[in-house]
Copies of this chain bind each other. A is one copy, B any other.
Amino acid sequence: MRLLIANANTTQAITAMCAEAARAAASPGTEIIAATPRFGPEVISSRAENIIAGHALLALLAEHAGQVDGVVLAVSHDTALEAARQLMPCPVVGMTEAACFTACLVGGRFGLVTFGGVDTYRERIAQHGLAGRLASLVGVDATPQESVRDPEGVQRKVASGIARAVSEGAESVILGGAALAGYAARMQAEAAVPLLDGMACGVKLAEMLVTLKLPKPSAGSFAAPRGRNSIGLSPELAAMLKG
């Protein structure tokens, strides 16, 4: 099967890093292709950027509709996830969504450790209906830049964030955000509970949904758009709204 790893920001290096993580997680028969939006924010770190990136992501997906069997959104805020799911004829999974649901299958309540602010993660997890299974949200006081400059120092901060999540009742811990890619594998040995990586979980859940071959709904809010007019959109996106 072909899975599209769709970044929602315009930084190709992040796309490449996520594609690599996806290939490491993919099953033998899975081909990973990756794509970066043509417009939008370089990095998504605020509410406004997230909305803009949502449009950019849908435009990107429209270019691949019909050519891939499934999509993993390589963006930690699950940007435009529900809209992408409605638009595309194939399964779409968000990387943080995937990590959260995998954490549920591991058991009990989970924690999420990330760089910086956690408010929008709290909202997103609540929108997934999982507020009751969230034990702890930890914002590590570090930046992606710092993690390049002082990897060991940052890793110590992340380890302390994981320990705090466990002490607050987390039975597994998600490491959220592209900046923490690769940390789960590196830090698992010393952690008391499973560490979850969004790209790995996303690829496995997308593969699983593709093989289930569930049909697209013909009713409800996830039925494909049909007969919708628009102005100034990319031809591919406009065509998909038109149905």
Chain A residues within 8 Å of B, Cβ to Cβ: 10, 25, 27, 38-43, 45-52, 54-56, 58, 80, 82-87, 91, 93, 97, 101-102, 104-109, 117-120, 122-123, 126-133, 166, 169-172, 188, 192-194, 196, 200-201, 204-205, 207-209, 211-212, 214-215, 217-222, 225, 228-233, 237, 240-241
* Residue of B25, B204, B222 touching A108 (CB-CB under 8 A): B222
In the complex, residue of chain B having the shortest beta-carbon distance to the beta carbon of A50? B83
- With both chains docked as a complex, state the minimum distance between the C-beta of A52 and any C-beta of chain B, in angstroms: 5
Contact present for B193 and A220 (CB under 8 Å): yes
CA distance A37 to B47 in the complex (A): 19
CA distance A25 to B170 in the complex (A): 32
Copies of this subunit:
6
Contacts A211-B27, A215-B188 given: A171-B222 contact, CB under 8 Å? yes
Contacts of A218 in B (CB 8 A): 192-193
Contact present for A38 and B232 (CB under 8 Å): yes
Contact present for A46 and B228 (CB under 8 Å): yes
Contact present for A51 and B83 (CB under 8 Å): yes
Contacts of A101 in B (CB 8 A): 101, 104-105
In the complex, residue of chain B having the shortest beta-carbon distance to the beta carbon of A167? B219
* Residue of B43, B86, B217 touching A194 (CB-CB under 8 A): B217
- With both chains docked as a complex, state the minimum distance between the C-beta of A11 and any C-beta of chain B, in angstroms: 9
Contact present for A86 and B208 (CB under 8 Å): no
Contact present for B129 and A133 (CB under 8 Å): yes
Contacts A194-B214, A220-B166, A231-B10 given: A104-B83 contact, CB under 8 Å? no
Which 10 pairs, one residue from A and one from B, show the smallest C-beta to C-beta distance?
A39-B232, A55-B55, A192-B219, A194-B214, A51-B83, A129-B133, A51-B54, A47-B83, A129-B132, A42-B229
